[in-house]
Amino acid sequence: MVTIELWLDPEPDRIDIPEELAETFDFIPEMKAAWDQLKPGMKRSMCYWVGSAKTAPTRAKRIAELLRRFESGYFQVGQGPNAKPTKRSK
């Protein structure tokens, strides 16, 4: 006999933010504001990327890369690798 137990996750979109990334948000509120506009899946992906680094210097480099991307507008709506080109008026 097999027993299966299911339960409803009260916080399905909760994301565990790596400590270094959370500290960065404290120092750079603009990055936190941009972060808050992202979808949960994107946030999870970034947290995994930063948190999966084995050393502190690598985590710092990845956070710096995220900051660069936020500043460049990479994460704005319509930006990023799958963005569709917009028509330019003549």
Q: Over the stretch 6-32, which tens digit does the pLDDT of each residue have?
A: 989 888 778 899 999 999 999 999 999
* The two structure tokens encoding residue 22: 């959370």
pTM of the model: 0.71
Residue 31: phi and psi, rounded to 5, are -65, -40
The verdict on residue 46 lying in a domain is yes
Q: Is the pLDDT of residue 43 over 80?
A: yes
Distances (CA, A) of 10 to 7, 13, 34: 9, 9, 25
Count how many domains the chain has. 1
Percentage of the chain lying above the pLDDT 90 cut: 58
Asked if the structure places residue 4 within a domain, the reply is no
Identify whether 60 is part of a domain: yes
pLDDT of amino acid 89: 47
Is residue 90 situated within a structural domain?
no
For residue 3, tell me if it sits in a domain: no
Mean pLDDT of 61-84: 76
Q: Do the domain assignments include residue 16?
A: no
Any domain includes 18:
no
pLDDT for res 84: 52
Residue ranges making up the domain that contains 43: 28-72
Distance, CA of 62 to CA of 25 (rounded, Å)? 14
- For residue 40, being part of any structural domain is answered with yes
Structure tokens that stand for 67 in this block = 């900051």
